[in-house]
Amino acid sequence: MKLLELKNLTRKFGDFIAVDNVTLDVKEGEIFGFLGTNGAGKSTTINMIAGLLNISDGEIKIMDNNISKNKKFAKSHIGMVPQEIAIYEDLTAYENVQFFAGLYGLRGAELKERTEEALGFVGLTDKAKHYPKTFSGGMKRRLNIACAIAHRPKLIIMDEPTVGIDPQSRNYILSSVQKLNEMGCTIIYTSHYMEEVEEICTRIAIIDHGKIIAEGTKEQLKAIITDTKDIWIHVGSTDYLDPEALKSISGVKEVQVEEEVVKINSSTEVNNLNTIIQHFISAGIEIRALDEQAPNLGTVFLTLTGRNLRD
Ligand SMILES: Nc1ncnc2c1ncn2[C@@H]1O[C@H](COP(=O)(O)OP(=O)(O)OP(=O)(O)O)[C@@H](O)[C@H]1O
């Protein structure tokens, strides 16, 4: 069943089109990844879905209900975890969750039960009476998630929930997303980290300059790129490397230089490995190891846009 339908969704800010004619469906039970660089239009799209931003054109339906006509229905079925942490510093963790769940109409014993359930889910039961000012960034994020899920929404939208947090909290959040999904929630997860999207999402849309440029399972997306491969060359030092000269080798499409590894995206149709290696030898650069990487969503993005996801 389609839980969410976007039809020709558009948002303009003055003359600027931030979301451009987006049409897509999210089916019940999916973890739907929304992948794009900073400024691609992810937040604008999901803020419209969550009813936080008016649409300029098009239509959003949640379970067949047009959200412009029935905002209350949409709100009661959506839990939104915004990009900016939205919690009250002068309320305890418990009071924060209670406050947000109360906004969705929960009262009395049910409110208490769901507040405790949500705090337990994010692993903050023992911090219920503590104030967020004593929390790490990751704990605040988890509290933010508890505030969004206590009313048991069918659709949970998370806007880059792992930005700026420690690896342990990041892993906790990623496994919470999977657990919520197993419990029956449909998730929309936005990120510019392709590794996260690859790890947890069942279907992915890539957005660029407000437009959906590709959509499908990760296998379907990777099938787009049958004609390029990534070669990683591990070296002692890149001091004498000339990336522009490497780029001029036939078949080489992109060269990325990191501290001790040179990442080369190359056409599979040209056999240029000898020439590439010769280039390193001539420059007096010691090659320590060489490996070919399986294609990932970053390569897909590069192929479709000509830019790196992290640029
Ligand atoms: N209120 C606004 N007024 C004018 N322009 C805006 C407004 N909100 C967003 N934009 C612009 O719309 C574009 C899309 O922004 P959006 O926040 O949706 O991107 P994003 O993909 O979520 O990126 P990020 O990861 O940085 O949040 C950007 O160019 C942004 O500058």
160: left (phi over 0), alpha (psi -120 to 50) or beta: left
Q: What is the average pLDDT value for the chain, to the nearest integer? A: 91
Q: Is 186 helix (H, G, I), strand (E, B) or coil?
A: strand
State the alpha helices, DSSP H only, in the chain: 42-49, 71-77, 93-103, 108-121, 137-149, 167-182, 194-200, 218-222, 243-247, 273-282, 297-305
Q: What pLDDT shows up at residue 45?
A: 96
Q: What pLDDT shows up at residue 30?
A: 96
Q: What pLDDT shows up at residue 311?
A: 58
- The Cα–Cα gap between 45 and 302 comes to 22
Closest Cα to atom 25, ligand 1: which residue?
Answer: 38
Task: Report how far apart, in Å, the C-alpha atoms of 163 and of each of 74, 82, 129, 157 are.
Answer: 27, 11, 26, 15
Closest approach atom of ligand 1 to CA 160 = 25
Does ligand 1 come within 6 angstroms of the Cβ of 82?
no
Q: What pLDDT shows up at residue 223?
A: 84
Could you read off the pLDDT of 166-221 as tens digits, one per residue?
A: 888 889 889 999 999 999 999 999 988 888 999 999 999 999 999 999 999 998 99
State the alpha helices, DSSP H only, in 183-247: 194-200, 218-222, 243-247
Biggest alpha carbon–alpha carbon distance for the chain: 76
- The Cα–Cα gap between 207 and 281 comes to 40
111 neighbors 78 (Cβ within 8 angstroms): no
Q: Is 35 helix (H, G, I), strand (E, B) or coil?
A: strand
Distance 10 CA to ligand 1 centre (A): 13
Residue 245, φ and ψ in degrees, nearest 5: -65, -40
Distance 44 CA to ligand 1 centre (A): 6
Distance 94 CA to ligand 1 centre (A): 32
Fold assignment, 228-294: Alpha-Beta Plaits (3.30.70)
Q: What pLDDT shows up at residue 31?
A: 97
Determine how β-strand 78-81 pairs with β-strand 155-159.
parallel
Closest approach atom of ligand 1 to CA 11 = 12
Distance 40 CA to ligand 1 centre (A): 7
The pTM of this model reads: 0.82
Does ligand 1 come within 6 angstroms of the Cβ of 39?
yes
Counting ligand 1 atoms within 8 A of each CB, the residue from 17, 44, 309 with the most, and so the one to mutate, is 44
Counting ligand 1 atoms within 8 A of each CB, the residue from 34, 42, 84 with the most, and so the one to mutate, is 42
End-to-end CA distance of the chain, in Å?
A: 37
Closest approach atom of ligand 1 to CA 192 = 25
* CA angle, residues 49, 53, 56, in degrees to nearest 5: 90
Domain boundaries, the chain: 2-216, 228-294
42 neighbors 189 (Cβ within 8 angstroms): no
Q: What pLDDT shows up at residue 106?
A: 87
Residue range 2-216, CATH number:
3.40.50.300
Q: What pLDDT shows up at residue 26?
A: 97
- C-alpha dihedral (85, 86, 89, 91), degrees to nearest 10: -130
Does ligand 1 come within 6 angstroms of the Cβ of 43?
yes
Does ligand 1 come within 6 angstroms of the Cβ of 88?
no
Residue 310 scores a pLDDT above 80: no
Counting ligand 1 atoms within 8 A of each CB, the residue from 11, 16, 34, 212 with the most, and so the one to mutate, is 16
Q: Which residue has the higher pLDDT, 309 or 56?
A: 56
Distance 247 CA to ligand 1 centre (A): 33
